[in-house]
Copies of this chain bind each other. A is one copy, B any other.
């Protein structure tokens, strides 16, 4: 059906070589022939077959992208950035969504390699223990991670400093006067980011003179979250007055669950998320969160990868700045302890946290 370069050549009464030269602007062709070729192309509606070209050139001009989810705006935004950069450079995008499943991760990378993508951009569950990544390395296929923050192995990555950010959250909450913190996180196994944020959060909580925070790992099912929250606040003991959620989507669910448990945010419980998805600013209370520059991260990942494909320096680890966006969902700790007890607090350490 579709016309080939051969058809064009025949119709223009030249060799396929000339057509190729004209089409690709490589080498010159006599103006007279050029005109005939152009007409033939026009008449035949010829469009070069990228598969044939790829086979010959050993380059598909396609780059693969592997992300855990696309319904999470964080990944959607990064993808938008990637798309922008990639397309501007004339590359195409092969996308796979893994749904946080490691098996999908592996098969996706395999499929993409089979399709001979020129490079990959991906977010994996665990960059420190990822067979797919090792495979890419062995095969010499360039890649750069986004959001992932490898601990041991040195791998090209674009992310924020999750540990530091988690720490800032702890300090902020402490400065608000909260004495009992908690963290609600999605699967640690499926997210090195969550682990890093937790590590920073716990460390700084303790460093701030508070006791270690309660950590709840939840499945991403609304019912589950509600149960966890209910369980947490049913106990009459020392329950957290502030909750750090490992990502914004989770924070939003947690706020909903809290509300259904008749707990007011932020009056009774403060909530801080992570990511800075735009939906957070439209909620009420508006979401306090750690903002990462998702779109920019995607753009940067793409441009580093493309740069490398064009012979520039290899992609390297880049930590982009994050920042805390103060919304209404986090505020002063409720109910300062009765005056007589208050004297027992530790003013020195308190001053520290307020930094």
Residues of B within 8 Å of A139, CB to CB, are 1-2, 45
Q: Determine which of B55, B84, B111 lies in contact with A92 in the assembled complex, contact meaning CB atoms within 8 Å.
A: B111
Q: Determine which of B2, B79, B115, B284 lies in contact with A50 in the assembled complex, contact meaning CB atoms within 8 Å.
A: B115
CA distance A253 to B279 in the complex (A): 10
User: Interface of A with B (CB < 8 Å)?
Assistant: 1-2, 45, 47-52, 54-55, 60, 62, 65, 69-71, 73, 76-77, 79-80, 83-84, 87, 92-97, 104, 108, 110-116, 138-140, 252-253, 255-256, 279, 282-284
CA distance A265 to B113 in the complex (A): 52
Q: Are the C-beta atoms of A76 and B83 separated by less than 8 Å?
A: no
Residues of B within 8 Å of A97, CB to CB, are 79-80, 83-84
Residues of B within 8 Å of A77, CB to CB, are 71
Q: Are the C-beta atoms of A51 and B45 separated by less than 8 Å?
A: no
Q: Are the C-beta atoms of A140 and B80 separated by less than 8 Å?
A: no
Q: Which residue of chain B has its CB nearest to the CB of A49?
A: B116
| 28 A-B residue pairings within 8 Å (CB atoms) | A47-B110, A48-B114, A49-B116, A50-B114, A51-B55, A51-B60, A52-B55, A55-B55, A62-B94, A70-B76, A70-B80, A71-B73, A71-B77, A71-B80, A73-B73, A76-B76, A80-B97, A83-B95, A83-B96, A87-B96, A87-B104, A92-B94, A92-B111, A93-B95, A94-B95, A252-B279, A279-B282, A283-B284
CA distance A116 to B48 in the complex (A): 10
Residues of B within 8 Å of A115, CB to CB, are 50-51, 60, 62, 92
* Least CB distance, A105 to chain B, in whole angstroms: 12
Residues of B within 8 Å of A54, CB to CB, are 51
Residues of B within 8 Å of A55, CB to CB, are 51-52, 55
Residues of B within 8 Å of A51, CB to CB, are 51, 54-55, 60, 115-116
